[in-house]
Structure 1
Amino acid sequence: MRIVDVCAFYSPQGGGVRTYVERKWAAMTALGHEMIVLAPGERDEVVERAPGAILATIAAPKLVLDRRYRYFSDEAALHRALDRWQPDFVEASSPWSSASMVNRWQGAAPRSLVMHADPLASYAYRWFGRVAKRDTIDRGFSWFWRHLRQLDQGTNLVVSASAGLSRRLSAGGLAKIATIPMGVEPGVFSPLRRDSALRAELLAGCGLDERAMLLVGAGRLASEKRWPMVIRAVAEASQDRPIGLVIAGGGREETRVRRATRGLPNVRLLGRLEGRGEFARLLASGDALVHGCESETFCMAAAEARASGLPLIVPDAGGAYDQLLPGAGRAYRAGDMRSLAWAIRRFADHGFVRQHAVATEGARVRTMDEHFAELSRRYEALAGVAERPFLQAA
């Protein structure tokens, strides 16, 4: 089967989307499918990453807010590319304008909308959640719900990564939802990667000894991740407890996040870690992952931390909460700094070493390959095509 993923937010410099796409190429071709990722790029280009794994880019302008990314601006060019590739199945990986473009394409192939993003939770609920209830916010953003319902009507399947998001989509009037959770890269994350020397080194960098608790943050330095809130909560909780925090990641909000660390020697920004093995070793060497974002559709960072045997301190909403293992971490009221500080204290006071042992026992999580196998079965059933010779990239 030939699958085309119209992937609006793929970038060679990207984080979670790039990781997902690169594993998709490997997993889907191993299942016998040809996997073409159609993305906005600097120029029109076709690159064969491996037999059956193709990156095709369409020349597109850069996003104003994040210059690492581009966006589809030429609907006719997108439709010509779909006509060229003659897909058996088409995915739209963003609920924005590119999904509408895919729905307006006149080809016969069935198609899906994959909800990799939750714009209402990322923006509207975060901006207005302190002054209005979600029902009120949803009414104020009724135009976006109408847009999602139109996408639902024009597609064969809406893929959601979490039960919570599926419930919200269903309540908003979407009818074709399938909950297909994502997963972590197989063979990368494990409690066996724990490195006591690295843990001691990171704590020393925070001005603490090995008896202190080491919290790890991971993800883009973006406003929806709420890093300043996380940092303030750690600062409050560490007033009478030895707690260090290291954050791995980069992004457009780095200056603002760095400003929040001023005067806090127990908080360090590590920047973006290039090697996946290095990142996996960092996760396994911490005492807990602390996460601030309640708008995750799946939360790759929390799943990778859980696979590394790490307890979780996460908001009580969104995909991160789905990864919380009983007895191995704490939930706090989403968006509430004082609730997070309380959760950190409670975690520290209730034996973080014991909770780490519980997390290590529960470290087995779903892999990306299992996710793609389930996605493949759904697509094959809708397309009615399982095998087809690979096209040549050139």
Structure 2
Amino acid sequence: MRVAIFTESFLPSVNGVTHSVMRVLEYLRDEGHQAMVIAPASQGREPDEYAGFPVVPVAAVGLPGYQDVRVSGTTQLRLERLLEDFHPDVLHLAAPIALGHRAALAANWLNIPIVAIYQTDVPSYAGRYGFSGAETFLWWRVRQIHSIATMTLAPSTYARTQLVQHHIPRVGLWARGVDSQRFDPAKRDEEWRRTIAPNGERIIGCVGRLAPEKQIGDLQALADLPDTRLVVVGEGPLRKELRSTLPNAHFTGQLTGEDLPRVMASMDVFVHPGELETFGQSIQEAMASGLPVIAPAKGGPIDLVNSSRTGWLYAPGDLASMRHHVRDLVGDDRKRAAFSREARLSVKDRTWRSLCDELLMHYEEAIVDARSRANA
């Protein structure tokens, strides 16, 4: 099969969209398929290829104050020519909004089946960034893109319901895998723990972009919990502000390679305060690392966290409840160990291979559906 992947984000930017695209490309390579990636240019820092497949950069500009977020303004004609040269069997749109919109129009013009992967709640993000007036337009754009698609795949039941409520047709489910060999409790680093928590404090961890939509500032509710140390992993535009808000927290910056699973396995409890997660990949990685998770009962965490078994869900905005659940777990070694075991077991078999097998079936279904419509 020949798959053209259009993604709104790719290397060197590291985030959930990039991560998912990388895993899909590795799967396609291992299974003998052909692929190409079209992504916004990143000032010459993007790779020429990934997993043996070409990466084609297209013209893009960075958002003011957040240059890592690239928005492509390339033309539909340019994308049509790329598709005509590659002759894909199916188009994969990763978190489409700008580049994905023109890619959908180009593929529709060329009668190429489209599988659109909904991953980022862009309209709600706009509200977090102070552009609430743009939400109506952005939902119109999301509806326009996904209505063109042969099928849309949402990452969670919450996201699927959200899309259906916005009158988007043909919405299915496709979750995400997790590498439980990479993320493993056995990687716990006691020396690192002694450095961060020299008096044996329990380590409360959070991993995420230091940006408004992740609500890292909510962790201030945990700042004065006795015998604990807060560790924040990530980079982003709010780094300086959050260092001021959480002066006693340890900020690691962005971690990659083996550093990330080593640090995650060395935490005791994982807190994910963001309320706009369509899925929550870092939650899965934390659970694979043997961490109980505390997160808001909104979005992707609802499908991932089994309250009173693998962690706790709290009502969005109820930071007193978040604090109560964290205090409960850091203060009870036996309960925390039981939650830790269950968290690991709940995701251990949720492999990227099995999820990509499922994605391949969705590709095949989209191809059949597109042919049926053409012959109708």
Aligned to 1:120: 123
Q: Is 1:330 equivalent to 2:309 in the alignment? A: no
Tell me, what secondary structure is at the counterpart of 2:222? helix
TM normalised by structure 1 equals: 0.84
Asked if structure 2 preserves the Cα contact closer than 8 Å seen for 1:11 and 1:68, the reply is no
1:58 matched residue in structure 2: 58
Match of 2:351 in 1: 367
| Aligned position for 2:222 | 234
Give the whole-Å Cα distance in 2 for the aligned partners of 1:279 and 1:45: 22
* C-alpha distance in structure 1 between counterparts of 2:6 and 2:197, whole Å: 43
Q: CA deviation at 1:363?
A: 4.9
Q: Give the aligned partner of residue 24 of structure 1.
A: 24
Following the alignment from structure 1 to structure 2, what is the Cα–Cα distance between the partners of residues 72 and 21? 18
Distance 1:81 1:294 in 2: 37
Residue from 344, 347, 350 that aligns with 2:326: 344
User: What is the distance in 2 between the residues matched to 1:79 and 1:125?
Assistant: 34
Q: Whole-Å Cα distance in 2 between the matches of residues 360 and 333 of structure 1?
A: 24
User: Which of 214, 224, 230 in structure 2 is aligned with 1:245?
Assistant: 230
Verify the 8 A CA contact 2:128 2:212 in the aligned structure 1. Answer: no
1:229 Cα deviation after fit: 1.2
For 1:1-394, list aligned pairs within 5 A: 1-41=1-41, 42=43, 47-51=48-52, 53-75=53-75, 76-105=77-106, 106-124=109-127, 141-185=135-179, 187-204=181-198, 209-210=199-200, 212-230=201-219, 232-236=220-224, 238=225, 241-262=226-247, 264=248, 267-275=249-257, 277-325=258-306, 326-350=308-332, 351-383=335-367
| Contact 2:95–2:117, Cα closer than 8 Å, also in 1 | yes
Which amino acid letter does the alignment assign opposite residue 251 of structure 2? L
Q: Distance in 1 between matches of 2:347 and 2:368?
A: 37
- The 1-side partners of 2:252 and 2:143 are apart by 41
Alignment CA distance shift 1:30-1:247 (3 Å): same
Contact 1:248–1:272 (Cα < 8 Å) also in 2: yes
Q: Residues 68-102 of structure 1: CA distance to partner in whole angstroms, max 9, x if unpaired?
A: 23222022322322222221111222342323212
Distance 1:376 1:358 in 2: 30
Gaps of 5+ in 1: 129-136, 386-394
CA distance in structure 1 between the partners assigned to 2:183 and 2:87 by the alignment = 37
Look up the SS of the partner of 1:57 in the other structure.
strand
Deviation at 1:127, TM superposition (A): 6.8
What code does the residue aligned with 1:316 have?
A: A
In structure 1, what is the Cα distance between the partners aligned to 2:135 and 2:66?
A: 24
Moved more, 213-222 or 89-98: 89-98
Amino acid at match of 2:324: W
Matched residue of 2:72: which SS?
A: coil
Contact 1:190 1:363 in 2 (8 A): no
Deviation at 1:44, TM superposition (A): 12
Residue 46 (structure 1) shift: 8.6
How many residues are paired up? Answer: 362
CA distance 1:17–1:242, change in 2 (3 Å) = same
1:37, CA displacement in angstroms?
Answer: 1.0
Report deviation, 1:186. Answer: 5.4
Secondary structure, in 3 states, of the residue corresponding to 2:223? helix
C-alpha displacement of 1:144: 3.7
Cα-to-partner distance string for 1:283-325 (whole Å, 9 max, x where unaligned): 1121111111111111111000111111001111121332213
SS of aligned partner of 1:9: coil
Give the match for residue 390 of structure 1. Answer: none
Q: TM-score, normalised by structure 2?
A: 0.87
CA contact (8 A) 2:4 2:90 kept: yes
Distance 1:329 1:127, change over 3 A: farther
Which residue identity lines up with residue 102 of structure 2 in the other structure?
Answer: M
Question: Which SS does the other structure have where 1:70 is aligned?
Answer: strand
Q: 1:363 to 1:70 in 2, by over 3 A?
A: closer
Distance 1:252 1:291 in 2: 18
Alpha-carbon distance in structure 2 between the residues aligned to 1:226 and 1:160: 23
**The residue matched to 2:58 in structure 1 has which SS?**
strand
TM-fit CA distance, 1:149: 2.9
Query: Is 2:154–2:160's contact at 8 Å kept on the other side of the alignment?
Result: yes
Aligned AA (1:27): Y
Secondary structure of 2:229's match?
strand
Between the two proteins, what is the percent identity of the paired residues?
Answer: 25
Per-residue CA distance 1:220-261 (angstroms, 9 max, x = gap): 11111111111x11114x1xx311111111111111111112
Aligned 8 A contact 1:219 1:301 in 2: yes
Give SS of 1:293's match: coil
Structure 2 letter corresponding to 1:383: I
Contact 1:215-1:287 within 8 A present in 2 as well: yes
Deviation, structure 1 residue 111: 0.6
User: After superposition, what is the alpha-carbon deviation per residue over 1:256-287, rounded to whole angstroms, capped at 9, x for unaligned?
Assistant: 1111122x3xx211111132x22111111211
Q: Which sits farther off after the overlay, 309-318 or 20-29?
A: 20-29
Q: SS where residue 62 of structure 1 aligns?
A: strand
SS of residue paired to 2:71: coil
